[in-house]
Structure 1
Amino acid sequence: MFDVPIDATYAWLGVALVSVATAGVAATLPASPPPDASGVAHTIDSVADGEYPATAEHGLTADRLLIRTGSVSLADGGDAARSTLHAPRITPVPSTDPVVDARLHRVLDGVPPDVAFDDPESFSAAAERARTRDHDWHAAPNRLTIRRVHYGDVRVTLVG
């Protein structure tokens, strides 16, 4: 009357083994997803490909950021992600880079380029220097600002 059927013992052992295996797999999964470099690249491309001046912001959950004219890379701890930018002539303006012209920082923050620069040529030259500079990894801000501006015939997409 109080016998344990032999089948039940094997079933319980099987369930126990599957539980241990499931716990092992769950322990090896990352605690958080990798940084969203493709989402950042999409935001940059959508602003840069536009015909009209525009501004956008994209929240970041990464520790480090690297923006080059053709790619954006994000790193968070041991995870890193990189995505290609399809829009031409992105101008990186990292906030922690003292070499980049401070007037570009002002334009990125919302100051009209004709107020920050004397003429379109000086604006174009400052953007070109920022693009051709060798950019390094920087501490990532909480949000990334993308601004496409026009000054005369000069069209520039600032990212910082």
Structure 2
Amino acid sequence: MAARVDVKLAELGISLPRPMQPIANYVPYVVTGNLVVVSGQVPAIDGKIAVTGKVSWSVSVDQGKEAARLCFINVLVHLKAACGGDLDRVRRVVRLGGFIASPSEFTQQALVMNGASDLAVAVFGEAGRHARTTIGVPSLPADAAVEVEGMFEIE
């Protein structure tokens, strides 16, 4: 029988991609006790960053929101690995952190980050509701438009 979260991902039309390798000196996730911390993930498809630039300049808010959603999909790839392949071990999405590359006058970072937050709730239901920080930054590695990190409670 398919795992509950895998079924939900399939219903949402999501298949988890191969993980992107870290581009610097860090690991993709750390498990300590019953917590998993997933390093910041960019909106990559097949190992290439799919959405680059600054939100509100070359990237629309809607494109940024889709980029944040894609970042969360990439977070899920590493979370699944941390859970030994079983996302049903996730008890709670504790916190998401979002970094939105944008000019200083842009103030809609929260709308962009909803792409990740909405997907967390769609995948995990009530356990997907989380604390969150969203920060506008002048640039991100490799010119990514968005980066999302996460902390999860597992069994």
Whether the TM-score (by the shorter chain) exceeds 0.5 is no
> TM-score, normalising length from structure 1?
0.26
> TM-score, normalising length from structure 2?
0.27
Higher-Rg structure is: 1
User: Bigger relative contact order, structure 1 or 2, given CA contacts below 8 A and separation 6+?
Assistant: 2
